[in-house]
Each structure stands twice: as structure tokens, then as C-alpha cells.
Structure 1
Amino acid sequence: MSTTELSRESGAAAQGSGADLVLSGVTKRFTEFTAVDNLDLVIPSGSFFALLGPSGCGKTTTLRMIAGLEQPTAGTISIGGRDITGTSPYQRPVNTVFQNYALFPHMSVLDNVAFGLKRRKIRDAEAQAKEALELVELAHLAARRPAQLSGGQQQRVALARAVVNRPAVLLLDEPLGALDMKLRRQMQVELKKIQTEVGLTFVHVTHDQEEAMTMADTVAVMNHGQVEQMGPPQELYELPRTAFVANFLGKSNLMPATVTGDAMPATVTGDAGEYLQIDVAGNALTLLKDRATDHAGKILVGIRPEKLRMEADTAAAAPGSIRGVVLDASFTGASTEYLVDAEGIGTVGVFSQNHGGALFNDGDRVRLAWDPEHAFGLSGSEDREAGAGEDGL
């Protein structure tokens, strides 16, 4: 069997069985603490799915319940329509890759990968293990012991050992957490490539938003045992629906605003009613209706730092902008990161690409503006600081 055949067979096993992973009303309580609260998830077969959130949000507990290492207090878990809630870990079509790799130090790389197959008395265990090592490009190291490998190589051996068993679902528990940043980024690309080749369902748990957004088809952002928002990475970043998601996925400027009505066609390009007229610290601005969760009263208007435009505050400065004073300028190479004291709002972050234009200095008076298509609106009852300072990026 070639590596390509191994990939096709693994993918066909997952895709052909319609092996969607479904969590229905899953709850996990530990005495007085609820780690996972009435969670409903459908993870399509063959997808790369990420559970993303800060420490203590319930993502690892969810993964352990799928693996059978924890039992739900309530709810059911099924794969391909088969209820696996009460089954033992070894009875589930699931394999897990842990952060510490859990390789046997006294065995060769090949024997580590073949271990599960030999226990199940698979006839061509070594041949299949060699094919799996080819898939992760480590066949030339088959005779070595784990201690003779780098961290990235050990991680790929652990992945090969899991993939060779052809599970319906592969669970990844912070698999890149022990690697340095350069190697972690390299492995992100390799993991996605392997998932695409084998076609298995990958469920990846991480607190690193860059890691989740780089690899996953779908990301579920968890907070306090529940999913705050779920969708493609770009959608979550560009259009967060809660302050927690806006702050946890990168950086956001969230500013109190009041909806004053629908913007008229003369104010913005488009039909009447498509935009909202909003007041931000006494400044009349506009916001796309379909980018706002609330269309009346107090709201929070959000804008990513890189979507803000900054220009010198002169008599010719464009209307519909916000005055401010530069508090700090940090040159980072490709861009300059500014902190601006915006009138009536507070500190606002601005990322400006270094295209050779003028740079601003501490104390400079500036105006901030943005395109309505880049802003988003949240409920005015949201906590502006929710998700900020958590262990995401």
C-alpha cells in the first residue's frame, strides 16, 4: 500500500461512513463547577475543527469527553449516528495526539507507530507503519529512538501513530504547545497538509488564536463552558458578535455609541436603511446595518486597529472622524503600532503599515477614521473588556 493509498483509504473510511461528530446537550459538572454547559456541536466528517478559548473555558474537558476519558453529566456524543457516550475509550473510533506526545522511549520510531496495529494483531502492521511515517516524511528515521529526535519530529511520530489506526476522528490536545514559535508555525502548515491528504476529521484544542485560524476550516470560540461564536476564521475575525470574541481574536477597539437613526442616501453610498447613523463621542458616523447586532439605542462600535486610518489634525481634515493625541508610537518593522488618546473615548490602538509615509510622534494631534464596511456593532450591554488580557493573542 502506498502513502497515497493510505491517505485515500483513511479519507474514504471517514467520508464514506458519514461519520459526523455530534454533541447534543453535553454538560459536565465537577461538584459545584460546571466546566461544559449544554453544548451542542455538529462537526462534519473530514473537516478541520478547532475549539479555541482561554484556560478553564471547557475546551479540554470537551475533548476528553469525546475521547471517553471523562463522562458527560448530561447529553450524548455520537459519531456517524452511533451513540458512543457510554463506551470505553478503546471502543471509540477516536485517537488522541497529546502535547507531550506520549511516545515509548525504549521503542524505535517504527515500533512506536506500529504499536497499536500489533496489539490488534494486524498482519501488515510494520508495512502500514512505514507508510504512515512516509506520510509525515520521517521514514528515514524509522530506526531511531524518540530521544534522538527533535520536538517537531516527535510530534510527527505521534501524529503518524494516531493516523495509522485510521480513526473516524483525530483529537489534538494542544499538540504544538511544547514547540518554539518558529517550529510551531512550520508544524501548523504541515498539520493542515496532512489533514487534507488523509481526509480525517481533526478536532484541535488550543488557546492560541493564530494556530486555530491558520489551520481550521471552522473555529468554535468557547467561554465559560459555552460556544460564544462559531464559523470560518475570517468571519469570526472580521465580524465578531460578542465583545469576548472581538477581544480574544486579536485586538479590537470597542467604543460606546448611540444609534440616532438610519443614514440617508446623501450621507453614504447605498440605499436608505442599509446604514445606521451613530453618534460616537459627539461625532456623527455610519455603520452597516447587517454588521450590527443591535439597531437602536446604546451599542458598542468596534474597529480593528489595522482598519483605522490616521492623519494629521488640520483644518482640512475630513469630517466624520475622531480627534486624538498620539500617546505612544512603537516601530515594529513592517508596521508602526500607535496608542492614541481619542477624545471622549479613551485609548485606541492603530496599526499603520510602513509604506514610507510620514510617521507620527508622541504628542501629535491626529484624526481617526474608518470605512463603515470595516466596523461592527455589538450590544451596548456588552463588557468592553471581555476577553481582553486572556491567554489568546
Structure 2
Amino acid sequence: MRSINLKLRLGKAAPMIFCSALALLAPMDASAKEFLDGNVKVYGFASQGATYTDHNQVFGTSRDVSLDFREMGLITSVKLLPNLLISAQGLYRDTGASDTQGTRLDFAQADYSVPLFDSSLVLGARGGRVKIPFGLYNDTRDVVWTRPSVLLPQSIYFDTLALRQAMIAADGGMLYGRYTHGDHRFGWEFMAAEPQDSTGGATGFLTGIPHVPGLPKSEGSLGGRPLLLGRAFYEWMGGRGKLMFSIVDLDRDFSASPGQSAFYQNGNTKVTYPLFSAQYNAEKWSLTAEYGWISSDRSGYSTANTAFIQGLPTWKQNTSENFYVQGEYRFTPEFWAVLRYDVLHLNRDDRDGREMSRLSGGLAPAHRFYARDLTAGVRWSFARNFLLASDYHYVNGTAWLNEAENPNLSSPETSSHFSMVTTMLSFRF
């Protein structure tokens, strides 16, 4: 039986110690710190997680129980004028190889809005490092309190693939509008911004360059026109019913680093990511579903040494399939449960991955091209400022596992099925 190794290096233990001190020093009934008649507000949170898997690795060495899952944030908002709000969040995050950035400015945005027609219509603009409005959860994903489970559906919101920072915010601007009529509310947002696609695994995700032992990773620089994004939504009875459509349009040029140019040349990637979302919230239960696909069109990236990487060409054109169905039940205001089925097919015309495996010359097994995740979770808010959440995942397929933590994913010996338990304790003020 494997021994459970719970030792942490001192550097990684420091954030946990700070979390404990913060929890002890803060008042138990505090929800925010307010100054200057409420025009300045300060929020904060500190969360520590643990992850265990029976096969494969998620967020560190999870087969020995990994504690490399912590999130700490400090959020400040300042209302300079009645219609002008400035907000920013500093974040420390560690999720093993899926997020090694540590401390960063998560977002910092100025929001100016103009109410019209007795406030039934609101028009506004945001600028700075703006949170990306995508789907139901992307712009509220930064703290476990606002997520339905410890991990969001990985078919849509890619944390394990090291894409969280690229998806959470971008540097640019956004226009938006809201119109309310009785029980009905309509809204739209349009964003143009420079993406943070030099962070985490975004470069490899966009270029599609496969990673195999002996082949350099997809290091290099990305440039091109700004990210374009739109989202439109309809809400009924204050959010009891929600319908939403989001779409991302991305066109990026890749310049290979000198060490990689011997294997891959420069290229261009065009990505379109539409997402349809629906949710119904009753008093005790909620039903949620999101469905989308990622269409990618790549040019260039031609191999300079085809013999070395025989059978592993960069995908030129590909369309994925991404969806989940989720139910939540609230037994009490403090205790609730979630059940979800989450599916990712890297090629929607090859849902079992066999054709993609064949194109790789058998170097990548079929389970590398899909992941089907059945999740059951519970959440307990046992005090006003504390939350304990835990999820159990049974996963068939390895499409959203991180190669840095699983360097032998393409080996036939890698397990195509695995179970995962992830638990998080969080404090906020």
C-alpha cells in the first residue's frame, strides 16, 4: 500500500499558515470591511484543498494525497463616483503543475455605467484587466464560494490544463447593456482585449503542438489581433430562469523559440468557441447545462524533422465537443449537494478517440482524446465565514489531465479510468 505523504516544503506551507492566522484574527460575523461610508470595501478569502487519485495525477502528486491546491485573494472596490466603480483582486494560487504563477494581479478594472429610463436600461463600459464574461461561471470562478463544486466542469472551464489565468481576465475593454422589464431582464456584453495566452498551458493549447519525450514543449511567443468575445443573456424572475449564449473569437500568430524551431516552424491559429448555457433555480434545487464546441484552424507549424516525430502531426483543423448536465439540491441553507455528468471529446467526429489514436501512429492511446466525468459533491457552510466542500469524480478518459504531472500519459500503461476525491476548506471575509 502506498504511504500517504503529507509533508510540505516551508515555502508552500507559508500560505497555509497565513490562512489560519487570517481566520483566527477576523471577526466571525464579518462579510466585508467597509470604509468611507461604504464607498471603499475590502473582501478576502483563503482556501486550502487536498486531492487524492487512485491512478494518474491531478494538482500535484495526488496518488499520495496532494496539498498543492490553495487559493488566496484580496479584493478591493472603490466607488469614486455614483456611477464609477474601480475594483481589483490580488491572488495567490497553487495547483501543482496546473498553476505555477503564484502571486499575480488577477484583475483590475474600472466600471462606468449610465442608468436610463428610470434605471430600466443601463449602459456601461469597463476597462483595464477585465474579467472575461463567458458562460455561467467564468467571471465568478475565482473563489470556491461562487462555484457549484470544488472543481468546475473541466470540459468547459480548463483548470487542470493550466488555462485558468488565460480564461479569467484579459487586458482591454468591454461595453455592456442591461434592460429590465417586469420579471424579464436582457443583457449583452462585447469585449476586445489582449489575452493572457503566454501563461500556463495556453500556448500549447492554441498551437496544438503535441508533447512527447524528447520534443520541446510549445514554447514561443503569441501575438496577433485582440481577443473578441460576446455574451448575451436572458433572465426571468430575478434569475429563476437563465438562458445565455457566449462566443470567443481568437486569431493568434505563433513565433517558435530558437530551441524549438528545429522541430516546429511559425504558425497561425484561429479559434472559435461558442457556448450555450441554461439554468433553472427553484427554492430547493437547480438544474444547469452548458454545451459548446471549440473549432480550431491552424496553418504553418510544419515539422522540420518529421522522422523524429513521426505520426504526431499538429492538428490542422479540429472541432471538439464540450458539455455537462448538473443538478443541485439544497437540503438546508447551509448544506447542499451536486451531481454532474461532464463530457469532453477533443474531436466530436471521433468520440471514442480511435481515429485520432490511429493518426498518432498509436503513440497516443484513444483515451487521450476524451474524458467523461461523473461527479458527486457536497458543500457545508458550517459557519458564516467558513465553507467545507468535497467532490468525488469517476473519470473515463484522460483528455483534461496535465502532461506535466503525467509525463507518461501517452503510454499504453496509463490508466484510462481513475477516481478522484478533492476537498477544500475556505474562509472569507
TM-score class normalised by the smaller sequence: under 0.3
Larger strand share, 1 or 2: 2
Higher relative contact order (CA 8 A, sep 6+): 1
TM-score, normalization by structure 2: 0.22
Larger helix share, 1 or 2: 1
